[in-house]
Amino acid sequence: MGIFNVINALRMGVKVPYAVCAALLALVPGMVLGSDYSCSFDTECYESEACAASDFAVEVRGEDQNIATDFGTFPILAIRDEANILTVFVNSDGAVYLLSANTDPEGDASARFTAHVTDGPQSITYLGTCERVG
């Protein structure tokens, strides 16, 4: 049973043994994140429309295991924070979010944040940067 199978089972209300969850989480690097990141996105692209200027921000709160946006604070479902790469998966009512960022201090700090809204469906992509702040 892989980590994503466990996540899907939990979302559907299936009881998954604690030992299975603990064993799988121990195998996934970066699941317990201690670092915080501040991300700012200056470009927003909605569906197939032309991209436009944006001032959207996302805060990744590692110890709290959540992200904070202008639209609310949401728990992190899965995270990978290693080898100069940050990937965060978040699920909320009505949307799924993915944050990918280059965290190499020598790199360009580029980041992408996508929101996949179930009503429609619709997608919004934000282009910007993230930096480690904790």
Domains recognised in the chain with CATH numbers:
1-29 (no CATH), 32-132 (2.40.128)
Q: Is the pLDDT of residue 123 over 90?
A: yes
- CA angle, corner 75, sides to 10 and 106, nearest 5? 120
Q: Is the dihedral of CA 40, 120, 98, 91 positive or negative?
A: positive
> Residue 100: what pLDDT?
96
Say whether pTM exceeds 0.75.
Answer: no
59-104 per-position pLDDT tens digit = 999 889 999 998 899 999 999 988 889 999 999 888 999 999 998 8
Of 34-38, 44-48, 52-56, minimum mean pLDDT range: 34-38
112-115 — which CB contacts under 8 Å span 24+ positions? 113/39, 113/41, 113/56, 113/58
* 88 alpha carbon, distance to own chain's centre: 3
**Mean pLDDT for the stretch of residues 12-34:** 50
